[in-house]
Structure 1
Amino acid sequence: MLKKIQQIKKLGVFEDFSWDHEVKSNGGAVQSFVDINIIYGRNYSGKTTLSRIARALETGEISEKFGSPSLSLKFSDNSEIAQANLTAHGKTSRVFNEDFTRENLKFITNPDDSIEPFAILGDDNNKVEKEIKEIEAELGSSEEGQESGLFSERKSAFDDYSEAFQSHKTANDNLKRQLGDKATNKNIGIKYKPERFGDQNYTIKKLEDDLAEVQKSNFQPLTDEKIAQHEKLIEEKTLPNIPKLTPPNLSFTIFVKEAGLLVTKEISESDKIEELVKDAVLNRWVNEGRMHHRGKHEKCAFCDNAISQERWKDLDKHFDEESEKLDKDIEALVKRIEDEKKSISTALTINPSRFYSKFHIQLSELNSTLKSAVTEYQYSLEALISQLTSRKNDILNAKKFAHPVDYSTELESAWDDYKNICNESDLFSSSLNSEQSSARRALRLKEVADYLITIDYHSQLDSIAALQEKLDKASREKVRISEEITQKQTLISAKKRDLNDEEKGAKKVNEYLNNFFGHKFLTLESKKDAENSKRIRFEVIRDGKKAYHLSEGECSLLAFCYFLAKLDDIETRDSKPIIWIDDPISSLDGNHIFFIYSLISTEIVAKGEFEQLFISTHNLDFLKYLKKLKGSYINSTGGNIGFQKAYFMVVRQDRKSTVQVMPSYLKEYVTEFNFLFHQIHKCATMGSVDDTNYITFYNFANNARKFFEIYLYYKYPDQGMNEGTLNLFFGNDSVPAVLADRINNEYSHLCGVFERGATPVEVPEMQLAARQIIEKLKEDSEQYSALLRSVGEPPEAGDV
């Protein structure tokens, strides 16, 4: 139940309205809305604005033409809604006002348009209704916390999905966080080690690319040895070019050829001393002795015997020129071989410091190969020397020559390999940066691969995949149960459409119209749209033809009958709505007024099919009838259910309106005459004028004119109000009569003087006239006292 319109700001004539400050009884207590609420207010006081607030509870929005208003409504359960959530109340609201009429009865503004159709339940639908109830039983309740049936299954499915989604998200986010740390964390992030990994702009996206690389089947992680090489490489600085190697020319083939000739050369045996020929050692000893004695000793230094000339001749013949030449040739060849041995041992010394680290392993292997080749080559040369020495020691006897292995190819190959490495090292200087980049990339991929092992990456992927499968399953179940619910709701809607009967809606309106006119003067008919056979439209019919040019009263009556019948449509039926009826008799005569009242009394109040009822009016005759609305209704079990009734006024002061509790005289008494007397009495007795009571003086001219029209009509029914009856009322004193006549005419109607409307009202003049009127009324003390009592004013001294 709507308890109060807590606050309204900048909405039409409600500039800054606060319910708790303004809607109070005489005792100062705040008055709230109750079951039935009667609201009185003059035209343009703000009644329709209040109805638009109520209609916003139905439509969920306030017209954008109001600018930027602010409002707050409070319900009996202490819940509050504001402009931002106007449909959060969960109640059904139905409002009759000019907006409702304009939207539903478009023919009023456009004679060629039709009336919006509505449907009420058709006849003989027990079977369909039973089917609907069965489907609704399957669906169960969707109320939060009390779900049942399919809605309970949907809640479980949504809970399972939410749990699966959160578990998957947690696992996935955890893995992403770990990968993100490896990419950009200051402690372990690759981004913060560019000197090793080569990318100070490293991101999670780049890490994902590296992940793809290390997970390829052909990826080979670096060995410890390779890691050490890459670490050395990334620390390398550019080295100068390596001096070119100029190795000696090898003469092994020549040496073999010459040595073979020398070792196998035959010496002529003529004139040879047989003993020396047979004994090489002795032969060498004698030859050496010969060298020592010739030209130095005449006697043998060994035996001290004289060496004869004949012996010297024999020795010279034995050691002839041929053997000496052979001996010298052998010595010369050995000398050459020894020189070559020495040259190859010093031809190449490998210094790794001249090379980049990437070549050090090659150089180490080459160094071993080089040393082996040098050694083997020297062994072969030594073999030649050994055979030459052996022949030299036995110069007279030819020897068999043994060919040593030629290792010159191996040696030259080692030197060529060294040259190639030198060239590669020199060339490497120009590609050092790219090589270092490749090394850093390799180290980075190794780091990524190792990190995947550290965080058990593949196990996490398997776990996430399992959670994804669970999530997909929960998602499918959520979609399935949601689709099943939607299908059943669609089926219910389809079956309810089977129940719909727009023709009955039109008949309901006609029933109300016929009750008023007594015959089918105006009727409403449902017709199929010419362009869309499934669409129904309502038309107003008069004398069998579409009606045009309805009077304002007919439009008002038709609109209200339409609204009343629509309370029984399928969207409203059994919903106990909040009903707000705004000024339904604006252009109706007395018969219309009573008919509208009787419809409200019998079709709404007497049936009790509403949660709360609001009726606003500017018409005091209609207000008189509304006061007669019953305060109870009989329910389906025969019980008498009581209503509370409350009365309010909408009062406009200049450009601002407010809601007040209806004064007791207006609530308890019926006629406007009491109200007009009260306004004149206030004007006559008011001590000072301020913003709170200025409206009393502003409206005095109208109030006084209407008061005289009523009062003088009953006093002088043959004349009514005119200059003569005013003089009769005031008696011999003509001044008040003239003054009252001026106020009644000039201030009430402006009398053609447009400037009068722009001139402030003269308060003393108004109050003087009011006092004169009151003084004349006092002459009939009984009537005057009764008037005072009727408006709740205390009797004056001397009154009866």
Structure 2
Amino acid sequence: MLTRLNHIRKFGVFDDFKHVKTLPDFGDYNLFYGWNYSGKTTLSRFFQQLEDRHICRLFPTSQFSLTFTTGNVDQDNVSNHSNIVRVFNTDFVKKNLNFAGEPFNPVLLLGEQHKKDQRSLERAHTIANRLEKQTRELETALTDTTKDLASLRQQYAKQIKSALQLVTTYTATHLQQDIQATSNESIKSTLTTENLHALRDVATTRPSDQPSPVSPIASPISVSDLFTRSIPLLSASPVLTNTIKHLQENPAVANWIESGLAIHEPDKDCKFCGSPIPQSRIDAFRSHFSDDLAALRSDVREALTIAESAGIQPTFAPSSSIAPTLRLEYEKSVSSLETLHSQYQLYTSNLVSCLKHKLENPFTILNTPDPPPTLDKQITEAIRQLNDIVDSHNSICDNFAQEQQQALRSCRLHYAYEYASEGPLPLHEERIARLQTTIRSKQSLLQIVNQVRDALTARLHSSEEGRQELNALLVALLGTDRLSVGIVKIDDQERFQLQRSGGIPAENLSDGEATAVAFAYFLTKLQELRSNFTNTIVFIDDPISSLDSNHVFQVTALIKNMFFEQSHDDKWRTKCLQLFVSTHNFQFFDLLRELPKQKIKQTFRRMYMTRRVSESSSQITPIPKTIANNRSEYEFLFSAIYKFSNDGYSAADENIAMIPNAVRRFVELYSCSRLPGTPTVDKRVELLFGPFSAKRILKVLHYFSHGNSIDRLSSNNELMCDIAPAIDELLGHIQTKDRLHWDSLIQSVDTST
């Protein structure tokens, strides 16, 4: 049960409503009285969003908080609340009265569910036709795209055949097989430009241009071994028996003499000056040049010969003679080995220089930098890598036909992957896949729509349910069976048709008849809730808004029978969980507040008033005593006008917003009671009040004769100033010209306050 509206913001005229302590909580049965444009229909729309379980589309930024016995509901959880709510208002009438067909052959689609079924069937037909058309268009697009794809494949196959100089057949079918092969072999990328060119060179090589084998590279002398042999020689000093100091200090002279000793054997004459050389001098020279020195020089000469041969640059086969697929790798390997050999030569050439110097200066101790310990290993590894490439090259030469076929296949797969992953080919394939998926989706949807069409057609053919109950309610509301719901067949479908007596299609329904039909359907629809009706909150907004006063009693009786019952202890209660009824009609309000006739507890029935307090704001207040205690609308109107006059026509009066309409309505009722035979209110006012007073009264009456009184009050101070004199004219006339009537009205005001 709903107990309280805590606040409502930005919901139409309820721009900033807040619950106050003086406003009692809702009871089982709740009445709202208010004039037109005071917020009753807006309030019903507020309840409507509880039924719809979503924010009203007219006020998407609204905020609110309600208290139910089961908890609070606000704009954030309105879609999740568990309360059952049903609302009758003008929106319900618009939803459930829909005339379709030719103007002279109207068909009433009665009932929201029936309307929804028919609209759903029409939409289903439209959707099915659209789906069929879309499917045909998609199938045409699929055919065209498939043809374009076949043409592209043929074009690409020709390009591949030309690029690889193929003499065998290569068609779009072969291309598709290669594309499939790239997928099966999980090829994820294309070849590099260098690899592609190399493979293509192999694939297109003519037999006469087939590469020849090349010789591997021999390993050089180990630089470590060379230095291990040479370093001791560089640091060695020969052991001499009798050293001649001059020769030791002058290596050039020593070398000259040493080489000259052999020349002077057995001749003792000096070959330079011709003088005889003493034997003692020759013996001294021979004693200086010992066997140890000769051996050292011999070892140095041998080491020098080896070192000089080690520094010779190896000869590499030109890269052009290497198989194209290995050429780039070969060039990198040769470059790496040349770099290492340059280091090798640096150390060997330095060693050669040292050995030469040692040979000339055997007594000199020499040092030379040691080569890096890893140089031999690096050179050996570089030669191994280079020779591996040479071996691969020689293997290709030995099996060139097979290598050529493999290169050809690699190139084909490269082009196949390239075409399959870039350019228009994959775009066409993706479009074909999307089209096929979309066509299947459309076909599935079409199947579902056809099933829905069949179900809706079957349901519409059996739409008799509730027709008799609906007709019974129409009789109760209208007091006659001149208007009823019949069933006719249109295009082999059973449809509801509103008919006059004799089965004649009803045309030009009055507003009252339309309201009666809609309210009857609402009451019938409530019965579909069955056991859930006892848990339902019902809001009814002005069900007699377009009915004349003769039907007010029928509507009241229907409400009593539909919504009230006596329990076993004779206490009255509502059949539904909670009932809300709003109206602007005082007579109807007076009848409603008497429901049920018997005495009830105070909390069972609550009465409220909706008031327009500003241009954009309405409030809900407890029912004023002047309304609660008055027995007629006429008395209430007079009490409001009289109080406004006695309060000095204050613009702050709580009833300021309704005073113009109150004056208009009071003048209509008063003048009609005095001059019932005069048809227009203008004529009656002129006869009663005279032409000058009538002009003043009618000016206010006509200007504020519609629901924009608030707007006009706030924008026209001159007319606002005319309200007070008009009321003075009106009340003064009744007080002086109709004293007995005046005294009776004053008595009713005193009694109600």
The structure number with the bigger radius of gyration is 1
